[in-house]
Amino acid sequence: MNVVIIGLGYVGLPLACLCARKGHKTTGLDINEEIVDKVNRGVSHIKDAALEHAVAGVKGVLKADVSPDAIATADVIVVCVPTPVDELHHPDLTPVRKACEAIAPHLKKGQLVVIESTIYPGTVEEICVPLLQKSGLRAGTDFGVAHCPERIDPGNQKWHVGNIPRVCGGIDASSTERCAQFYRSIIDAEITPLKSVKAAEAVKIMENTFRDVNIAFMNEMARSFDKAGIDIIEVIRGASTKPFSFLAHYPGCGVGGHCIAVDPYYLIEKAKSYGFDHQFLSLARKINNDMPLYTVDMVNDVLNKLGKSIKGTRIGILGVTYKGNVDDTRESPAFEIMHLLKERGAQLVVFDPHATTHNSVTSLNECIGKSEIIVVCANHREFLQMNYELAAKAGIKAVIDGRNFLDKDAILRNGMLYKGIGR
Ligand code: SAJ
């Protein structure tokens, strides 16, 4: 088929490479000329080994463009643009609207438009269809529209766009079936058609909200167990031996990323419009959003134990991305932690081996050498190479492990204080 992917980010670029590799004549569209130029040179603008390899592999096969002209000859058009929230956590569907407005003038009879971006239930029918029908064509009779929520776990080596099962739902049975057929042509996994487009929109929101509330649950348990002197990681390890109906999540210094930290707000805000108040989801968001402050208060307590205060202390920040082994800093809790520490007079020494734009040093050892304590905000695999004996010798007095992933016993053995989230 002729496939056009609109948006070449974390979702669209892997999908475009997959479509090209599977033999579809694929054009990737993006408003960012630099991204388009890089893709045409076989270069990924995202630092991810598998993706860099995939983009290089389709050089000359996948065509990238800024101009939307390719839409006119497409069989399938897939929208993979961001769906962020604004500072008041209100959904911002501007990129989705703009993508639909770019499609409309080129829309032809028989085409299928698929929205992959995460949207609240009702978006396709209330926002996308009206914009697409400005083409003068009728959705359903003249062209198909469906939602196939994106599922991708950046940095995950096992699960990738080519083997993750998907669901899809269209505005009518024909759209649903055509959408399922398209994804079956590129994905080696179960593609499940759902009975409505709203159901498909609700699936993604539910999946990610499920994760957010479970993380909030563990964050609350961590704060309670911390006061009780219980190591929550040991408790999760124990609870995980139950072979059914327990699913481990982990406490941390905060919930970031463009999915989990954002998607619940799409449902919370939409539900208000139909008169429902998601108290539980809102509370979970509050609990998770409080974790950066909780982490900074922990730093303060540890420094007080050392007869010091945050003011004037050189604090090493390890990791600024929203999770380990990715270069994405969107909604990262590290930024609020750094802001709060600076507000309280800390001198920060920042090092992230994946997202280097915020670094103040160029190596882990340099960060350790210039700091008095260390605060870990992202669990990058590189930090596991930390030599605790050398760190202690370099004058590190304490490690605050915001991702509970360093070796607590080794740190204690080397005479440093250790404080994790709930341990
Ligand atoms: N986090 C915790 N505790 C946990 C898990 C995550 O604090 O137990 C934090 C992470 O540090 C990060 C944030 O939550 O700051 C989000 O982490 P994530 O592992 O959910 O990573 P994402 O945002 O890349 O989530 C993606 C999502 N995929 C899509 O939205 C399509 C999500 O649905 C997946 O569940 C997730 O990957 C995954 O399972 O890894």
Structure confidence at residue 156 (pLDDT): 87
pTM: 0.93
Kindly indicate the confidence band of residue 155, based on its pLDDT and cuts at 50, 70 and 90.
confident
5: which strand partners?
Answer: 28, 78
28 lines ligand 1 (CB under 6 A): no
Q: Are 368 and 391 in contact (CB under 8 A)?
A: yes
Beta strands per DSSP E along 332-404 = 347-351, 373-376, 398-401
Cβ atoms within 10 A of the Cβ of 6, count? Answer: 31
Please compute the mean of the pLDDT values over residues 227-244 and round it to a whole number: 97
Scanning the structure block, which residue is given the tokens 């630092």?
47
Q: How far is the CA of 344 from the centre of ligand 1 (A)?
A: 30
Residue 215 has pLDDT above 90, yes or no: yes
pLDDT digit string (tens) for 6-16?
A: 999 999 999 99
- What letter would DSSP give residue 333? H
Of 406, 405, 328, 324, the C-alpha closest to 156 is 324
Distances (CA, A) of 394 to 13, 114, 153, 383: 43, 55, 37, 16
3-state secondary structure of 417: strand
Which atom of ligand 1 is nearest the CA belonging to 331?
Answer: 15
> pLDDT for 40-74, tens place per residue?
999 999 988 999 999 999 999 999 999 999 999 99
Closest ligand 1 atom to the C-alpha of 328?
Answer: 24
Q: Whose C-alpha lies nearest to ligand 1, atom 34?
A: 153
Residue 216, ligand 1, Cβ within 6 A: no
Is 32 strand, coil or helix? coil
Q: For residues 281 and 91, what is the distance between their CA atoms, to the nearest angstrom?
A: 15
Q: What's the whole-number mean pLDDT along residues 385-389?
A: 97
Q: Is 247 near ligand 1, meaning CB less than 6 Å away?
A: no
Could you give phi then psi for residue 126, rounded to 5 degrees?
-90, -30
| φ and ψ of 192, to 5 deg | -105, 110
If DSSP codes are grouped into helix, strand and coil, which group holds residue 358?
helix
Evaluate: CB of 419 within 6 angstroms of ligand 1.
Answer: no
- CA 260 to centroid of ligand 1, rounded, Å: 6
Q: Which residue, 60, 65, 67, 32, is CA-closest to 46?
A: 32
The beta strand positions in 125-252, using DSSP E, are 144-147, 166-170, 191-193
Element of type H or E holding 139:
none
Query: In sequence order, which residues have a C-beta less than 8 Å from that of residue 290 and are 6 or more positions away?
Result: none
Confidence class of residue 400 from pLDDT cuts 50, 70 and 90?
very high
Nearest-angstrom CA–CA distance, 266 and 270:
6
pLDDT band (50, 70, 90) for residue 75? very high
pLDDT beyond 90 at 353 = yes
Q: What is the pLDDT of residues 169-199, one digit of tens each?
A: 999 999 999 999 999 999 999 999 999 999 9
Atom of ligand 1 nearest to the CA of 252: 7
Residue 377 a catalytic site member? no
Given 19, 128, 259, 377, the catalytic residue: 259
Residue 14 in contact with ligand 1 by CB distance below 6 A: no
Contact between residue 109 and residue 134 where contact means Cβ atoms under 8 Å apart: no
Residue 153: pLDDT over 90:
no
Share of residues in the chain with pLDDT > 90 (%): 97
Angle at which helices 263-273 and 279-289 cross, to 10°:
150
Round the average pLDDT of the chain to a whole number and report it: 97
Supply the residue whose CA is at minimum distance from atom 27 of ligand 1.
153
